[in-house]
Amino acid sequence: MNSPLASRASTMDCEISLVHDRGEVDSGERDALMAEIREDLDQIAMDELGIHVTDVRVKKIDLPPEVSTAVYARMSTEREREARDHRARGRELAEGIEADADRQKTVIEANAYREAQQVRGEGDAIAAEIYANAFNQNPEFYAFYRSIQAYRSSFSGKDDLLVIDPQSNFFRYLNDPMGGN
């Protein structure tokens, strides 16, 4: 495809590129630039090829390398700043959520502890009342029961060692089933 027309079109491409090297083109100036290029290209095409150019579209505007580098650096810096801002807002939001969760945890634990203490106190009161009733009904049985509890807690481990006079009051139910002194 090395026709004279293709060769001339390539030459016109270069001429247009050189003629219309304008530095920066804003998006609002793109329509005016395309109209100017169409007029220039129409004149060249009419003079050399005898055809009219009815429309021209700009696909890409190349920037000089030093401008491209500066533009990309500025864009990169801006994106990095936006990313830092988003991360900072995220951390701030996370800290707020964490603080609220900690506060709620503290309130829940305090309420649970208060309720547990209240239930424990009620249970202790009931137990004390039961013990008191048992003591009043049969003081000797209550004394025996308390001795058994003391024996159990004293000898709970297999390496426990207790040095006590065998005649002490601690062993009164072991020595005498009736608990005599």
pLDDT, one tens digit per residue, over 70-83 is: 888 999 999 999 99
User: Terminus-to-terminus CA distance in the chain, angstroms?
Assistant: 129
Residue 58 and residue 69 in one domain: no
CA distance 54 to 31: 14
Token duo for residue 95: 């800290």
Q: Is the dihedral of CA 161, 163, 168, 169 positive or negative?
A: negative
Specify the number of domains making up the chain.
3
Residue 34 and residue 16 in one domain: yes
Token duo for residue 154: 């004293």
* pLDDT tens per residue across span 151-179: 788 777 777 777 777 777 766 766 666 65
Residue 143 and residue 87 in one domain: no
Residue 142 and residue 170 in one domain: yes
- Threshold 0.75, pTM exceeds: no
Residue 143 and residue 103 in one domain: no
Domain limits for position 31: 1-62
